[in-house]
Amino acid sequence: MYKEFDKRVDEILAKLTLKQKIGQLNQIQQPLNVEQAELVKKWIKEGLVGSIIQAGTSTAGNDGQDGVRVDEFNEFQRIAVEESDSGIPLIFGRDVIHGHHTVMPIPLAGAAAFNPEITEKAYRCVAKEAAADNIHWTFSPMMDICTDPRWGRMVEGVGEDPYLASRVAEATIKGFQGDDLSDENSLAACAKHYLGYGFSEGGRDYHRTEISDYTLYNKVLPPFRASVAAGVATVMSSFNDINGQPVTSSKKYLTDILRGKLGFEGFVVTDWATVSRLVNQGVCENVRDSAKAAINAGVDMDMVSKTFMNELESLVLSGEVSEDIIDEAVRRVLRIKIAKGLFERPYCAEREIDMQEHIAVSREFAAESMVLLKNNGVLPLKNEGTVALAGPMLRAKRELLGTWVLDGKADIAPSFLEAFSSVAGENIKIITDKGSTVLDDSLAPFYNSDVIVLALGESHEVTGEARSVADISISKSQVELAKWAKSLGKKTVGVLFCGRPLALSEIEPYLDGILCAWHCGTETATAAAEILFGDRVPCGKTPVTFPRCTGQIPIYYNSTVAITGVCSYYGQAAERSYCDMLGTPLYPFGFGLSYTKFNISAISCNKTEIPLADIKNGESFVFSVDVANVGEFDGKETVQLYIHDKISSIMRPVRELKGFKKVLIKKGETANIEFNIGKTHLGFYGNNGEYLLEKGEFDIFVGGNCLTNNKITVKVI
Ligand code: NOJ
């Protein structure tokens, strides 16, 4: 898809000196002071720079950052275009992860929306805002499958399921890149972290990973395959090694699989200083070796280590790196610069952005993402009486935006206290904890309330890059608070603002209702308050399992059976997994309650068997269910289809998500939902990455979460 620009690319390439070519492969960090800025200008003029990352530190997602500097970057661009010999425009990248000035839900929460349409719409808004600030390229979406919520970066990903992750990847990339990457409102996207970073051992950030070929091809790679098919412009090579082989020096991953098997035509940028860090990883003796290893493996652009800038020329002159390899890397970078329209429109023109429209989208996306985990009839709240509010997140603002917010405005995000007060009708009396963080006399008036709502959770500071935790349990003080609230004999609701599935076993018995509101960006608090009062009906489904306790990690729905033929996740011999804990999750993948009630009919199917040859030729099973809304509210249900390949040459998961549809059904109405299931759903990847379709029986499950027992069996003969 990007090769279509190659004629123009080759004309440009033919005029470049070796030094200028290598310059295109060099991404530098934004200057932090006047001296650095002068040096950067000099390098740009000499053709030594291809890109600038608008970040000051490697862990920009958690550090306070300067705002964007539109004019200064226009000046850098002017020097590149008008004063350097090659005249090639720079491409400016920034971590615009889940929002720019308007902040959308953290990606993990966004996945809970199970809604590609709103995802695409939201990321279109994000692209518009960022593009207006002289940003051409974002380092998003992150596609790391992860089953370990201790890892702080689970927040940036899409949870534990590759099918859902693939759909989210497509929608996010479409939102960022639009129909036309050269549009002034589009951003080039970057699928990251390629590959396997989500398997960091023990959830410790930057650590090694050990990934079997089966897991690699069937779980880790699919979202990247989908990203490439969706036309993602760039891919980021990750920090980690896989089985002892750093990805950044791996021809297998960067060339044979990414370009060979997946057909990627854009360019690969490394993660922060990953080239020079090959020395730390012990596979290169010095940075010269690391430059050689990375370029030969298939890296195109070196993020900030300056190793390509300093070493590649002499490596080519000494014959250790062929100029053809350099040409190929430059070709890929130029393809994207052309596709992005940078040659035609290198500068950023000032323009007005309608933030109000984006804030409305952010609220809708937030509401779609929140997951009602428990409801003993306390929700929605009544529109009268006295509500008592307490909890450590009651007045939080910045926390609600989540990690990786470089340009988001916390001051426009209402706190939960503010939002709750403005959404509550005038018939509601609100009393608060008056800012107390301990159980003291200031809470005495709570005796007079009808219901207590606790704003709970965790700070964004314990999520994101280099922010892992050893224990995912909600804090003891919050458990004490809920226990105390319950001891007053009041109905108690917990609203959880978090960036990971927290372990809630300790607190859950004291709460009559639990809404997982995540860190959902600018409109987190308002969307949560609207859900509590029933102005919106909850409809999110969790994209990740909620473990009962940290010790259950990893626990995920798409596991295989034990040798005993059972899978404890599904409640079979669940007490045998541990002596001190059940093997079932607290809340399973795909789970989320509504205020209304849906009845899903038995599954019907157009055929009970199809010959393998016909499946290979594109024939598919059509499964259908009727979904009746028999409750008291209009509401949305996410109908999920799972398969289980019963006998196979490799052990297959007990259930695998292969389709979902989110539908709005008015109360009293019924919707018919159909799924076409064929060759892309029924096969799997073998250990060499070959796609295998085999004969056999398949159980098909259709329901409201992964535990459904609504099943039909079909055969591929
Ligand atoms: C390191 C992070 O791993 C990556 O996700 C990010 O895009 C880069 N830093 C650039 O800030």
Work out which ligand 1 atom sits closest to the CA atom of 97.
Answer: 7
**Which residue puts its alpha carbon closest to atom 4 of ligand 1?**
271
How far apart, in whole angstroms, are the C-alpha atoms of residue 489 and residue 73?
60
**Sole residue written with tokens 């800025």:** 37
Average pLDDT, integer, range 620-624: 98
Rounded-to-integer distance, Cα 576 and Cα 566, Å: 10
The best mutation among 53, 236, 275, 468 to test binding of ligand 1, ranked by most ligand atoms within 8 Å of the C-beta, falls on 236
What pLDDT sits at residue 434?
80
What is the pTM for the complete model shown? 0.98
586 to 374, 571, 681: CA distances (angstroms): 11, 11, 28
Compute the distance between CA of residue 223 and CA of residue 210 in angstroms, rounded to an integer.
Answer: 19
| CA 580–ligand 1 middle distance (angstroms) | 39
What atom of ligand 1 comes closest to residue 55's alpha carbon? Answer: 11
pLDDT tens for residues 224-240?
Answer: 999 999 999 999 999 99
Has residue 259 got a pLDDT over 70? yes
Q: What is the mean pLDDT of the chain?
A: 96
Cα 247 to ligand 1 centroid, rounded to whole Å: 15
pLDDT 10s digits, 327-353 = 999 999 999 999 999 999 999 999 899
Question: How far, in Å, is the centroid of ligand 1 from the Cα of 284?
Answer: 22
Residue 439 reports pLDDT greater than 90: no
DSSP string of 362-428? HHHHHHHH-EEEEESS--SPPSSEEEEEESTTTT-SHHHH-S--SS--GGGS--HHHHHHHHS-TTE
Q: Which residues are catalytic?
A: 271
- In this predicted structure, the answer to whether residue 65 has a pLDDT above a threshold of 70 is no
Per-residue pLDDT reduced to its tens digit, 635-692: 999 999 999 999 999 999 999 999 999 999 999 999 999 999 999 999 999 999 999 9
- 563 CA → ligand 1 middle, Å: 41
Residue of 28, 51, 65, 95 to test ligand 1 pocket, by largest number of atoms within 8 Å of CB: 95
Q: Is the pLDDT of residue 64 over 90?
A: no
Pocket test for ligand 1, best of 144, 155, 272, 274 (most atoms within 8 A of CB): 272
156 CA closest ligand 1 atom index: 5
* pLDDT tens per residue, range 450-473: 999 999 999 999 999 999 999 999
Strands 635-645 and 696-703: antiparallel
| Among 144, 227, 175, 161, residue whose Cα is nearest residue 659 | 161
Q: How far is CA 333 from the centre of its chain?
A: 25
- pLDDT tens digit sequence for 129-184: 999 999 999 999 999 999 999 999 999 999 999 999 999 999 999 999 999 999 99
What is the average pLDDT across 286-291? 98
Q: Give yes or no for a contact between 370 and 528, defined as CB atoms under 8 angstroms apart.
A: yes
> Which protein residue has the closest C-alpha to ligand 1 atom 3?
271
pLDDT at 67 over 90: no
Tokens of 108: 């993990």
Q: Letter for the amino acid at 643?
A: I
Element (H, E) at 656: strand 656-665
pLDDT score of 442 more than 80: no
Which pLDDT tens digit goes with each residue over 696-705? 999 999 999 9
Ligand 1 mean position, distance from CA 157 (Å):
13
| Ligand 1 centroid to residue 192 C-alpha, Å | 9
Name the band, by pLDDT with cuts 50, 70 and 90, for residue 113. very high
pLDDT of residue 62: 73
Q: In this predicted model, what pLDDT tens digit does every residue of 365-420 receive, in sequence order?
A: 999 999 999 999 999 999 999 999 999 999 999 999 999 999 998 999 999 999 99
User: Of ligand 1's atoms, which has the minimum distance to the CA of residue 197?
Assistant: 3
Write the residue with the smallest CA distance to atom 7 of ligand 1: 139
Q: Which two tokens stand for residue 128?
A: 């518009």
Cα separations in angstroms, 704 against 247, 531, 626, 710: 38, 20, 12, 10
Contacts of 452 (CB under 8 A, 6+ apart): 387, 388, 389, 390, 446, 485, 488, 490, 491, 492, 493
Q: Is the pLDDT of residue 56 over 90?
A: no
Ligand 1 interacting residues, C-beta cut-off 6 A? 55, 58, 60, 95, 139, 192, 271-272, 465
